Amino acid sequence: MLPTLEIPYSFPHKKYLKKHPELIERNRKGEKVYTVCLAELMKDDCPFWKDVEKILDQFIKKHPDIVLWDYEYGIAKPNAAGYSEKNIELFRKIKNISVNKKLAPEDILKNYPKEWEDFRCRQNGGFFKKYKNIIKKINPKCKFMAYSAYQLPSTMTRYGVDWRYIGPHVDIVSCGYGRGRPDATRKAAGKKYLMGGWLVYGRGKNMNQCEKVIFTRLIDCGAFMVFGSFIQDGRFFGAASKAASVAADFEKFFLNLKRNDSLVCSPNGKPLGNAAVLTNGNERLVFLFNRSSKKCDFAFKNLSFPQNTIAIDYDTKQLFKKPSEIKTELEPYKVKIFYFTQKSSAIPMPPRLLKVKSRHWPALRWSDPINSGRHKYILEYSTNSDFEKSELIKNIPNTVFQTGQSILLGEKYFWRVKSVDAVNDKESAWSEVSEFATSEIGENKKDALIKPEKTAIQPSWLNLETWSYPWGTALAEIIKSNSVKHGQSPALKITLPYESYIYGMSWQGAYGSQLVEIKANEECEFSIWTKSNAPNMKIKAGIWFLNKKGVRIRLALGKQIISDKNWSICTVKAKPPKNARSAFLLFHASGKGSIWISGPKFNSKKTPPPSEIVKEKNKTAKH
């Protein structure tokens, strides 16, 4: 969402510049960049901002909670915008440089590098301010978030970002992807916390280390985010879920982020390199990290704590009544959290039950209105609303319970939960009663495992509704069209409301039938049928090959075609790399209007080795 860049059709800048060619920006080499002149954009009365507001209005009505601007555009690269005559003259004026001084791009970068860096970063901060004003005008409750690199000396030139000029105009600061300098970034942006990022993007990441890495970001920054795609499994989602639970249960610790690792030490008094401590008044959270691949025993001393302090193991709610020294064990690459708090006579409040999805054995979830970090729970469920005959589950350490084979299938259940303070053992009243139903398998409701019929498993990529559409305009409308078909297959209708693009991908990030198996010496062919109601809708098909670790190694794209009112086929043929083991399918559509996609088809056939091809040619020549 940058009017200052020529990104794919997010804003109608090309149309605007066609009317105002004198406002075309220039890059460092003096070439035209189809971007509105930055000096012009700095003006409050620049008409282009009205076009920006129209697009943002559409976006925010569809996504009212948050708008993210990812800004990673350097100011000194050969293709960097900002070197138009108008913008250079604005730089001269603001930095009070004599008119007798030559200010060609190379002169600026040689003689005034810091001045240019500050000027351009201030400009970018000004654009963030303009965005903020538009966003809050459309919806005051919509959060505005910025993402870029951490505050480093290199960040200003490499990314065009100085958080001193951006921080005041955004609600949330987000950085990535290594550990960077979160303290310097928070200080520059004027924020108590920021969102630290981890990149999990098709590079064969070690999923065993998810918990360690995600908690490191959370503790360093106060919040975490993951830019992820492709291979992720239960280890990733379990780690992210645990970190999100800790952040929610101890929100005050992270909103005010005060860290003091010196409050713990080893039994012999030496600093602990595998521990982190956050404080909130007299309370503290201690995080222990097992960074090794082996199960380890840990011991630490807790220093300078108030009287009546008690320690709680967050995962189990086990109490340590002597908090001065704690011994525990930790699984490989895991994080253990200890909550140090004071004894209290307070009575917990009843939990609030959350909606249950109908499943064979559904997960029951609830929320705690106070601090669930010191609470455990009692769950009761029954087929009778009066709970005359019921199951009672005690000492549940968190706010979710996974039902199992003790639940009858095809039945309606009533359930309720109460909170128990792990420190003083006082219980809340029961929550309100809620209901859930289990779905039925087979004739015998108690029969949990039913053998499936021996039918062929259809790969999920045959169903375009299971595809992901991760890149392109967020305003695209994607619906199943039963009225438009190619053969027997219902089409997927994609509508691009303005000149833009979208990618469709068969793989959403899991193993299984979303991937196509690739074998050596097999030529691959992927095709898809398409038609459109617009004159210039373009589409091309692709195959992305992956190695045995799931890392993308080669993208093969077919010829782009113009889609019209008649069904036509879009195809790509490619021979995979020798180390390819699987692939996912994709298409790229661009233009303005609606396009229908149907009938994806994938084939592969063996290609003879070169020696066989030569023999066949010789045989043909003899005849």
Here the CATH number for the domain that contains residue 279 is 2.60.40.1180
Report which secondary-structure segment, H or E, holds 540. strand 537-546
The per-residue pLDDT for 245 is 92
What crossing angle do the helices spanning 113-138 and 85-94 adopt, rounded to 10°?
Answer: 100
- Is 5 in contact with 35 (CB distance < 8 Å)? yes
Helix, strand, coil proportions of the chain in percent (round to 5)? 25, 35, 40
- Under the banding of pLDDT at 50, 70 and 90, the label for residue 182 is very high
Verify that 143 and 31 share a domain, yes or no.
Answer: yes
- Do 145 and 63 belong together in one domain? yes
**Cβ atoms of 569 and 559 closer than 8 Å:** no
Residues 384 and 533 placed together within one structural domain of the fold? no
Kindly indicate the confidence band of residue 440, based on its pLDDT and cuts at 50, 70 and 90: low
Q: Which domain, by its residues, includes 550?
A: 460-606
**What is the CA 18 to chain-centroid distance, rounded?**
36
Q: Are residues 391 and 276 in the same domain?
A: no
* CATH code of residue 363: 2.60.40.10
Nearest CA among 339, 267, 347 for reference residue 305 = 339
Domain count, the chain: 4
pTM of the full structure:
0.79
Please report the pLDDT score of residue 62 as a whole number: 85
Residues 38 and 56 in one domain: yes
pLDDT band at 476 (very low <50, low <70, confident <90, very high): confident
Residue 234 lies in a domain: no
Q: Is residue 614 part of a domain?
A: no
Q: Domain for residue 445, yes or no?
A: no
170 & 57 share domain = yes
Residue 384 in any domain: the answer is yes
Structural domain includes residue 199: no
Whether residues 338 and 358 fall in one domain: no
36 found inside a domain: yes
CATH number at residue 96: 3.20.20.80
Look at residue 209 and give its three-state secondary structure: helix
What pLDDT shows up at residue 620?
46
Q: Is residue 272 part of a domain?
A: yes
Indicate the residue among 145, 173, 191 that finishes a domain. Answer: 191
Q: Residue 1: pLDDT band by 50, 70, 90 thresholds?
A: very low
Instruction: Give CA–CA dist 3/8, Å, rounded.
Output: 11
Of the residues 342, 372, 389, which one is the last residue of a structural domain? 342
pLDDT value, residue 616: 47
Report the half-sphere exposure of 238 (CA within 13 A, side-chain side).
Answer: 12
Q: Is the pLDDT of residue 8 over 60?
A: no
pLDDT at position 222 is 96
pLDDT band at residue 321 using 50, 70 and 90 as cut-offs: confident
Same domain, yes or no: 298 and 372:
no
Q: Identify the pLDDT of residue 409.
A: 83
For 470-494, letters b (16+ CB in 10 Å) and e give eebbebeeeeeeeeeebeebbbbbb
pLDDT of residue 585: 92
Same domain assignment for residues 103 and 146: yes
3-state secondary structure of 358: coil
C-alpha 559 chain-centroid distance: 31
pLDDT recorded at residue 465: 79
Average pLDDT over residues 213-220: 95
Mean pLDDT for the chain?
87
Interval 495-504 mean pLDDT: 86
Percentage above 90 pLDDT, the chain? 63
Is the pLDDT confidence value at 17 over 80? yes
Instruction: Kindly state the helix (H) or strand (E) to which residue 86 belongs, with its residue range.
Output: helix 85-94
The CATH number of the domain where 533 resides is what? 2.60.120.260
Residue 444 is predicted with a pLDDT of: 38
Residue 273 to residues 198, 289, 364, Cα–Cα distance (Å): 22, 9, 38
Give residue 511's pLDDT: 45
Assess contact for 74 and 46: CB atoms under 8 A: no
User: Which two tokens mark 527?
Assistant: 């095709």
Residue 466 and residue 435 in contact, taking contact as beta carbons nearer than 8 Å: no
Q: Is the predicted pLDDT of residue 9 greater than 50, yes or no?
A: no
Are both 332 and 423 inside the same structural domain?
no
Instruction: List 337's β-bridge partners, or say none.
Output: 287
* Band of pLDDT at residue 10, cut at 50, 70 and 90: low
In a domain, 39, yes or no: yes
- Give me the pLDDT at residue 470, please: 72
Predicted confidence (pLDDT) per residue in 366-423, tens digit: 999 887 789 999 999 999 999 989 999 999 999 999 998 788 888 899 999 999 999 9
Does residue 464 sit in the same domain as residue 594? yes
| Of 141, 174, 191, the domain-final residue | 191
**Average pLDDT, stretch 468-491?**
80
Instruction: Mark whether 421 and 527 lie in a shared domain.
Output: no
